[in-house]
Chains A and B, each alone.
Chain A
């Protein structure tokens, strides 16, 4: 094994958070981890009444949200943590988005890490504020501090039954010394009154009335709307253009060319058409006459990529893991199977297309950005405007979906470039076609698997070769060397015991931009591992659930050697726990109506454990999923109904890439353009979904993504159970069902 292999997204977000203007041009993730400014707060904590808890004299409480809300519910779950430690009346709590200030807030939102990563810092911040309020009350009453306690938005002096509201105390409290965040006493979890309770979303009302403001709803006096013509071929550029006809379109005001920006932004460059409204801008763009220089990738296609992968798989790859001697064990085994799994590029397709509004003035800049990384947006705008970052005010707006797409700063870079060029407030708006064709896609990958069983039906060998269009190869300066980083995830430390275990990798070169898609490598790794173990179960003639439990063996903890700094070990007892619970709730051993199949999958990702039982069949030549029964263990669930919502969501997201369309490449460009040729799951296809949440007392772990990796293998295993057809490439093709 080679330890220290992976740079995960959380690490990326932290390095990205502090890269400053270096991000703008020539930024690569380096192996040196930059100082994590947000963590410095542990040395010198900010005043919690400035940073996280605003209490008015009228007792109105506003909690400040440093993370970004993209649907995953941090706007509710994170304030719950603060409110818990402060013993607030939850009904009176309001939430406000934090200003962009990486010195105080750990803004980067992703990697299913918001609740997990904020759990302790927010408990500490809330506790510090509470302790300061208690001290202020004790001083006011001139009583021993220990006789006072926080309760329901105020401080109670037990002996005298006196009560002072926080509003009456906040002025004094905020002037007191700030407790050390590392030693401040935290509430006993047995006393939790908010955390662990189903809590309705605080943003549900605004999102049901049209009042919620997304990035695309930003309106600034005098603003222009811009759309950009980008070369449809990745890596291509403008050779020449004529804007005469575009400028003749009514309401079109300006046409400007912007340069492509490489690593750190990865923009295509192009020609921006600015108008008084979005529609005129799109019409103006259609009237542009552009000759493209298609660049070096014009011959790439999905077929050529697959050809490269097949060729790569015929040769040994770079060894990622090598326990025992898998090849020898395979050679000597009498029961072995081999299979190939394939995945295409996948788009994020957030419902709100990319957009960003920027106003650059000589003395400062202001921006309204639907972003998972506001600190990155700030540094990009600072770089383009040549202003210091503190002069760049970035308002993080609500996001109409993120799923990893809105980590990127490409759309921010474009808006900053156009705003700089015209000196007016500008919204750069992407159309759906722009969004579908200029995404940063989930990598396409090709997996060859070999497995062998011994005479007792135990796993004698597990061998996994992967060739993919690595994310790390794009984002790291030495990417070609470390292309396997992040491409395996749990597939490199499966819970199924095998003395002979080999993992190999070869990079497949591509000009198509790649990045983090919901659940990242786990979306493919989960499918490969949980399908192939199902194939082995069938070869062994053992029930798929029984087989998995048996292969895991005795309870143990398996280190995540791909993420040694932050990854928690895989606890097989917890994985078995969710598998058994899902099976029990689904009635695993009960017979199903004829023609219907049942499949199971269990997986570890983002330090959480998920299992699902799917019931599916084939109707009119298509896979039809009728029921999904999930069990999830994500440590202590802060908002259990929020956990259920995230798992319901991840199931549909996973099914979209498993059952519908692929992003395919021809002539160096994406062939799909809109929801007409890239179909989404709709109401009628939605299976009945149950989510059973384990009420664990372990530290909270991720839940925005872990529901995804298990859904496609469970469904395809159900199709195998129903029909005997093994599905090994996604999305499911009709010919694979025939």
Chain B
């Protein structure tokens, strides 16, 4: 039976010949041509393939697509239509990306953490981001950007005086 799930806010039914065992990563990239989610290791070591499943950060390379049936999947493309999510804005303002390949995954891990911890400590960041490798070593700027995004979101929530 064809698999249906919510992808970036819209209902998505896969062609019936897509194997239920196929990892979500390859469904996104090769079947649906949503290439913002990246392949890094295929073994959930590096976090390049991170997406949200019902709001939690997961590694799509080790997630059979059958297991997302009926659930909500958000990819980097679904975070905002115009890179306006506070985390994306903070990433741009701190000039985080270098090669940029890992950054979709970094941003998805960071947004999932901030949804639960709006004002994370450095230790929170160390823990939440421990599954994401950046070979360009942008970690210091990622940390700054996460703090900046948290501050932006807090400022936006403040009632106007």
Chain A residues in the interface with B (C-beta under 8 A): 70-73, 200-201, 203-214, 216-217, 219, 225, 250-251, 276-280, 282, 349-353, 398-403, 429, 431-432, 641, 645, 648-653, 674-676, 680-684, 686, 688-689
Contact = CB atoms under 8 A, between A and B. Distances in A.
Contacts of B34: 210
Contact of A674 (B41, B95, B140, B142): B41
Interface string B60-97: 00000000000000011101101100001001110111
Nearest to A677: B45
B36 interface: yes
Contact of B97 (A201, A251, A282, A653): A201
A649 B129 contact: no
B29 interface: yes
Contact of B48 (A209, A276, A351): A351
A70 B42 contact: no
6 contacts: A71-B99, A72-B98, A277-B31, A351-B133, A352-B99, A688-B140
Given A206-B100, A277-B22, A352-B99, 15 more contacts: A73-B98, A203-B97, A204-B92, A209-B36, A209-B80, A210-B36, A214-B38, A279-B26, A351-B38, A351-B40, A351-B134, A429-B39, A645-B98, A648-B137, A682-B139
A251 B15 CA distance: 13
A683 B101 contact: no
A674 B102 CA distance: 16
A207 B97 contact: yes
B99 A683 contact: no
Q: Which of A210, A276, A402, A641 has the most CB of B within 10 A?
A: A210
Interface string B26-38: 1001110111111
B140 A689 contact: yes
B107 interface: yes
B133 A401 contact: no
A225 B129 contact: no
A680 B47 CA distance: 12
B142 to A, nearest CB: 7
B99 A70 contact: yes
A204 B96 contact: yes
A402 B100 CA distance: 12
Contact of A651 (B96, B98, B100, B137): B137
A203 to B, nearest CB: 7
Contacts of A645: 95, 98, 138, 141
Contacts of A675: 41, 43, 45-46, 133
Given A204-B97, A649-B137, A675-B133, A431 B42 contact: yes
B83 A205 contact: yes
Given A210-B77, A210-B104, A401-B136, A648 B99 contact: no
A474 B152 CA distance: 53
B130 interface: yes
In the A-B complex, the 6 residue pairs with the closest CB atoms: A210-B36, A652-B137, A400-B101, A207-B100, A71-B99, A210-B76
B149 to A, nearest CB: 11
B140 A352 contact: no
Contact of B36 (A205, A211, A251, A353): A211
A209 B138 contact: no
Contacts of A653: 135-137
Contacts of B17: 250
B141 A212 contact: no
Contacts of B141: 645, 648
A278 B30 contact: yes
B7 to A, nearest CB: 13
Nearest to B133: A680
B13 interface: no
Interface residues of B, number: 61
Q: Which of B22, B23, B30 has the most CB of A within 10 A?
A: B30
A216 B19 CA distance: 22
A214 B93 CA distance: 22
B83 A208 contact: yes
A674 B43 contact: yes
Contacts of A210: 34-37, 75-77, 104
Q: Which of B77, B95, B127 has the most CB of A within 10 A?
A: B95
A56 B48 CA distance: 38
Nearest to A690: B140
Contacts of A681: 137, 139
B38 A352 contact: yes
A684 B40 CA distance: 20
A534 B46 CA distance: 36
B99 A351 contact: yes
Contact of A683 (B79, B92, B135, B139): B139
B92 A200 contact: yes
Contacts of B19: 250-251, 279-280
Nearest to B131: A682
Nearest to A348: B135
Nearest to B48: A351
B139 A351 contact: no
A682 B133 contact: yes
A279 B26 CA distance: 6
Nearest to B46: A675
B52 interface: no
B108 to A, nearest CB: 10
A208 B103 contact: yes
Contact of B92 (A71, A205, A217, A402): A205
A351 B142 CA distance: 16
A649 B98 contact: yes
Nearest to A654: B137
Contacts of B26: 277-279
B143 interface: yes
B100 A71 contact: yes
B45 A676 contact: yes
B101 A648 contact: no
A703 to B, nearest CB: 13
Nearest to A225: B30
Q: Which of B26, B82, B125, B135 has the most CB of A within 10 A?
A: B135
Q: Which of A212, A279, A399, A649 has the most CB of B within 10 A?
A: A279
Nearest to B26: A279
Given A200-B92, A278-B30, A683-B126, A216 B137 contact: no
A84 B30 CA distance: 42
Nearest to A399: B99
B127 to A, nearest CB: 8
Given A201-B95, A209-B88, A432 B42 contact: yes
Given A209-B88, A210-B75, A682 B137 contact: no
Contacts of A684: 126-127, 130
A196 B107 CA distance: 30
B101 A204 contact: no
Given A213-B35, A353-B39, A653-B135, A204 B99 contact: no
A347 to B, nearest CB: 10
Q: Which of B79, B82, B140 has the most CB of A within 10 A?
A: B140
Nearest to A352: B101
